[in-house]
Amino acid sequence: MATTELKKRYIEAVGRRKESVARVRITKSTQYSYKINEKSLEEYFPVAELVSIIERPFKTVETDKFSVSVVVRGGGIHSQAESIALGIARALSVHDTALRQPIKQAGLLKRDARIKERRKFGLKKARKSPQWSKR
């Protein structure tokens, strides 16, 4: 009994985007609160656009209020925000399977697979070749 209660205490999901990996835990709460790498949401993401990206999964569906705890590593702040949003959307779909359909229709469960292309030998970057000179 004790192990099932521990598992129901929070729901964990992983979101990825480019080089960013976010481990998201959502816990039922009386109000929305965010802890990202031990900082508040406004402290970690000072730009309003990034805050709206993170809050989008909660705004698309009417659900309970949650406390969100995130550990995010790698990438830039924009890809970190998108990876957190994917993690929240995945955790919400696990929390309530009825929410999966509206979240999916909003396009929040899609993993954006575009990553930086690797550098090839003989080239300066992924596709840029060295300057050619005739003589």
In this predicted model, what pLDDT tens digit does every residue of 79-90 receive, in sequence order?
A: 999 999 999 999
pTM of the model: 0.87
Task: Give the total number of structural domains in the chain.
Answer: 1
* Residue 57 belongs to some domain of the structure: yes
- Amino acid 51 reads V
- Note down the domain range covering 54: 2-105
Residue position matching structure tokens 């790498």: 37
* Residue 67 belongs to some domain of the structure: yes
* Residue 123 belongs to some domain of the structure: no
* Residue 113 belongs to some domain of the structure: no
> pLDDT value at position 64?
86
* Residue 10 belongs to some domain of the structure: yes
Tens of pLDDT, residue by residue over 14-49, are: 999 999 999 999 999 999 999 999 999 999 999 999
Residue 77 has pLDDT above 50, yes or no: yes
CATH for 101 = 3.30.230.10
The Cα–Cα gap between 32 and 16 comes to 23
Residue 2 has pLDDT above 90, yes or no: no
CA dist 68 to 26, 61, 95, 123, 125, Å? 5, 16, 13, 44, 39
Helices marked H in 33-74: 41-44, 48-60
Strand order in the sheet with 33-36: 11-17, 20-28, 66-73, 33-36, 39-40
